[in-house]
Amino acid sequence: MPDVLLVTILIVALACPAMMWWQHRRVGGAAPGCAPPRSEAASLEALRQRQATVSTRLTELEGEGEDRPST
């Protein structure tokens, strides 16, 4: 029984580096496990747009809450 546990731990411990190596080989030199790089300006603009959308929606929801009586 301890041999099975030891083998399982060894397989799991080697799986992560093996997957990182394969990702590196497959993607063509990109950092293993990392998302492709994005343009910082595009990300910042998208974040600002999303923030404005959420802020508008929050204001709408807060306005709806004032119409309802508290329980």
34: in domain: no
Is the predicted pLDDT of residue 27 greater than 80, yes or no? no
pTM of the model: 0.39
71: in domain: no
> For 43-68, how does the pLDDT look when each residue is reduced to its tens digit (9 = 90+)?
788 889 999 999 999 999 998 877 66
Report how far residue 58's alpha carbon sits from residue 52's, in angstroms, rounded to the nearest whole number. 10
Report how far residue 22's alpha carbon sits from residue 30's, in angstroms, rounded to the nearest whole number. 11
33: in domain: no
62: in domain: yes
What residues make up the domain containing 55? 2-28+39-66
Least confident of 7-11, 17-21, 26-30, 52-56: 26-30
- Domains in the chain, number: 1
